Structure 1
Amino acid sequence: MIDYRVYVPSKKDKAVLIVAMIFTTAFISILFYNSIYILICTPIVYKVVYKPFCHYKCKKRQKAFLLMFKDLLHSLGSSFSTGRGFYDALVEAKDSLINIYGSDSLIVLEINHIIKAMENSGVSELQLLEDLGKRAGQEDVYNFVGLYKACIESGGDLISSVARGAEIIGEKINTENDIDVLISQKKIEGRIITAMPIGIIVFLRTTSPGYLDIMYGTFGGRLLMTLALIGMGVSYWMVERITAIEV
């Protein structure tokens, strides 16, 4: 099953990333150096971008899974309140989640895995949930599994625990959404400021084609262009780092 702590790009993702890096490198090469020879740096750019790309996709997938897991808890809580056991509650939850997310969604795949393991291998629900808690790579899921295990082993109030788990995850998602709204404007402003040198160069090349010849034709000019490019990269990294707030 999927390890949500690590993102392994598919062939399609890699192909899209490679094409994007080729076009990006070509654009930078022409704009900053008036040459296409910088395209030879595409493999280097790909290696630099690959890790942040995987990190972004991993976080995005974890966030999507957490939302689905919250809905799963709501469905399980409703079934538990009517006296159903874990297996029957999971089957009911599967049907409702298929209507919301589709049969190929992450949460439905996980439910199918748990159901098949319980039917064919006789693996206990606690073992399967503990495995999911580890693979999820999220504290909320892991903590809920621990709470569920404690309720099963000690005979605690399972219905209240499931409802509370869903409530906590829902509050976290709402808090993250509120933070995203608050910082989105600052993030956009930072990206605009970072991209301003590109706008200036495009403007000068459009209105005065020969104005930047000295920057393209001399060592000093190329050095300044390189420093400007590095400065843009550092600025973008700082903007993303400052606005990357985790709850």
Structure 2
Amino acid sequence: MINYMELPLRGKEKAIFFLCIITAGLAVGILFYDSLAVSAVTAALLLMAMPQYKEKVVRKHQQELLMQFKDLLYSISASVSSGRNMADALAESKVFCGGSYEKSDYIMIELDHMTAMLSNGNETDTEVLYDFARRSGLSDAEDFARVYENCKASGANLNHAIEEAVRIIGDKIELENELKSQLAQKIFEGRIVGASPFLIVLMIRLTAPDYIKPMTESTQGLIITTIAVGLMAVSLLMTERINKIEI
């Protein structure tokens, strides 16, 4: 089954990455140095960002799965409240989620797997929930599995416990999603600011190319340009680091 912590990059995602580094390499080399050699070196250096890009893509897929998992929780809560056990609740959730998601969506793939494992008797419902939590890397999925396990072991009111757990986890997911949306806006603004020097230099090259010649034809100009490009790179890296903040 899918290990969401180690998802391979899809063809489209790889194409986007290589297109971005080629574009960035050309932008730095042509705009700031007027050199294709610098473009090639810059693109080669940016290849080292592949692990960071893959990590970002994995977080994106996990966020997609998290929002789908939230819908699954509400379906499980409704089924358990009506007297169903966990195996039946997952089977009903497969029908419920099927009305909103495609067969290729992560949550539908997982529900197919979980119901198949339970029907074959290969694993218990608790083991199935923990397996999903481990592969998904979602702390909320692990919290739900732990609540369910503790309720079964202690003989507590399962309906009430699951209802409360789903409510708390659902509210937490909604809050995190709202905060991430606000954070994404700030990151987008930071990227716009980071791209502005490229646009300014492009405008100067188009309207007054002689004005920028000293920056590419003298040693002092090349040093100043390199320092400026380095500072821009640092600012962009700091902006991207914000995206890694765990809420």
TM-score, normalised by the number of residues in structure 1: 0.90
Shift of 1:30: 0.9
Match of 2:169 in 1: 169
2:25 aligned with 1:46: no
Match of 2:65 in 1: 65
Match of 1:115 in 2: 115
Match of 1:35 in 2: 35
Code of the aligned partner of 2:53? F
Shift of 1:121: 5.0
Match of 2:80 in 1: 80
Q: Give the 3-state SS of the residue equivalent to 1:212 in structure 2.
A: helix
Say whether the 8 Å CA contact 1:26–1:36 is kept in structure 2.
yes
Find the aligned partners of 1:226 and 1:205 in 2 and give their Cα distance. 18
Q: CA RMSD in A?
A: 2.0
- Structure number with greater CO (CA < 8 Å, separation at least 6) is 1
2:169 aligned with 1:159: no
Q: Deviations over 1:27-60 (max 9, x none)?
A: 2211111121123222321222x12211211111
168-177 or 181-190, larger mean C-alpha shift:
181-190
Code of the aligned partner of 1:44? L
Find the aligned partners of 2:54 and 2:35 in 1 and give their Cα distance. 30
Shift of 1:18: 1.5
Match of 2:215 in 1: 215
Find the aligned partners of 2:195 and 2:39 in 1 and give their Cα distance. 21
Q: Give the 3-state SS of the residue equivalent to 2:7 in structure 1.
A: coil
Find the aligned partners of 2:186 and 2:203 in 1 and give their Cα distance. 25
Say whether the 8 Å CA contact 2:27–2:198 is kept in structure 1.
no
Shift of 1:185: 4.9
When residues 184 and 117 of structure 1 are mapped into structure 2, their CA distance, relative to the original with a 3 A threshold, is closer
149-158 or 116-125, larger mean C-alpha shift:
116-125
Match of 1:179 in 2: 179
Say whether the 8 Å CA contact 1:6–1:58 is kept in structure 2.
yes
Q: Deviations over 1:3-29 (max 9, x none)?
A: 222332123322331232112211221
Gaps of 5+ in 1: none
Find the aligned partners of 2:79 and 2:230 in 1 and give their Cα distance. 57
Find the aligned partners of 1:234 and 1:34 in 2 and give their Cα distance. 22
TM-score, normalised by the number of residues in structure 2: 0.90
When residues 65 and 165 of structure 1 are mapped into structure 2, their CA distance, relative to the original with a 3 A threshold, is farther
